[in-house]
């Protein structure tokens, strides 16, 4: 089993309540549910973040060349 480490953090009460409801529904501890949520976010970020960055760069390059009209105009 992987080595474990503590992580203490403060969250809004509403976030904690949502995590508690989900944990209860999925028969997990609050800690296990929080770890799962963080792990899933980290995986998605690693998979999607570079793609979004590249798409933003390409869009900005298009704006600079006058090919695309920016949304914020």
Confidence bin at 69 (pLDDT 50/70/90): low
Residue 71: pLDDT over 70: no
Task: Convert the pLDDT of each residue in 1-54 to its tens digit.
Answer: 679 899 898 999 999 999 999 999 999 999 999 999 999 988 887 777 777 778
Cα–Cα distance between 12 and 22 in angstroms, integer? 16
Ramachandran class of 70: left when φ > 0, alpha when ψ lies in -120 to 50, beta otherwise: beta
pTM, to two decimals: 0.62
Considering only 14-18, 54-58, 63-67, which range has the smallest mean pLDDT? 63-67
- Burial per residue of 13-30, b for 16 or more beta-carbon CB atoms within 10 angstroms, e otherwise: eeeeeebeeebeeeeeee
């Amino acid at each position: 089993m992987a080595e474990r480490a503590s992580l203490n953090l403060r969250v809004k009460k509403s976030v904690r309540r949502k995590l508690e409801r989900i944990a209860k529904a999925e028969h997990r501890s609050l800690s296990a549910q929080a770890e799962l949520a963080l792990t899933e976010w980290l995986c998605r970020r690693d998979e999607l973040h570079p793609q979004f960055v590249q798409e933003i760069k390409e869009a900005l390059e298009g704006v600079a060349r006058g090919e695309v009209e920016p949304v914020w105009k």
